[in-house]
Chains A and B, each alone.
Chain A
């Protein structure tokens, strides 16, 4: 059974600093990995998707990397801002006979201190 872990559960960082969020998964047989953002009381918003054949994806100040062999992904946020405060979740898409499903981590709650 695929398990996805995100450590730490919570992180506080002063504004302007660069930071890295971690995601690990137990089974390397994935199609892709996604990073999501969740604001309090809201749904999830997809930030980045990395296909299994890719090593990284970038969107603005965000950079996500994927190392399938070690079962790890990182989300790098450059020059953090208070608006980056949210919970960040990673999810892997696993094979399921044509109806692939996502398995989510429990998330890292990020607080950017002004």
Chain B
């Protein structure tokens, strides 16, 4: 997707190992989000960022941490991966304008993580 890149796109790892997923944007958008998508659950928000070094938790944040040291990069880290974290992870960006909530997100192509 134009302006937003996720890496790696696929990763297989073992339980207990650390994993970092990277989201990179070239749109200079303020807001960045990490979602996970699982069958029967839809997309669920893990963490989001509303500026450099400004992050907050979503609804499924346990076991995950994030960092945003630059506008363009938002990192998602699994400190010690578990099988329940096997999922497809999507990054999204937004240049939301005001409290009207016109929060149109642009999504990355996703990162498929398998934890054995």
A101 engages B58 (CB within 8 Å)? yes
Interface string of B65-80 (1 = CB under 8 A from A): 0000000000000000
Across the two chains, which residue of chain A brings its CB closest to B91?
A: A43
Of A43, A45, A100, A106, most B-chain CB atoms within 10 Å? A43
Interface size on B, residues (CB 8 A): 27
Size class of the contact patch on chain A: 20 to 34
Which residue of B58, B96, B105 contacts A46 across the interface (Cβ within 8 Å)?
Answer: B105
Q: How far is the CA of A95 from the CA of B100 in the complex (A)?
A: 10
- The answer to whether A101 and B50 touch (CB under 8 A), given A34-B104, A43-B107, is no
User: Which chain B residues lie closer than 8 Å to A104 at the CB level?
Assistant: 35, 42-44
Instruction: Report if A99-B42 is in contact (Cβ < 8 Å); known contacts: A41-B110, A43-B108, A44-B90.
Output: no
Q: How far is the CB of A99 from chain B (nearest CB, A)?
A: 5
A102 touches B103 (CB 8 A): yes
Cβ-neighbour of B107 out of A32, A41, A45 (below 8 A): A45
Which residues of the partner chain A approach B1 to less than 8 Å between Cβ atoms?
Answer: 43
CB distance from A89 to the nearest CB of B (A): 7
B45 is an interface residue with CB less than 8 A from chain A: yes
What are 6 of the A-B contact pairs (CB < 8 Å)?
A31-B102, A32-B102, A43-B108, A93-B101, A93-B103, A101-B45
User: What would 4 more interface pairs be, CB under 8 Å, given A31-B99, A41-B110, A99-B48?
Assistant: A43-B108, A46-B106, A52-B101, A99-B50
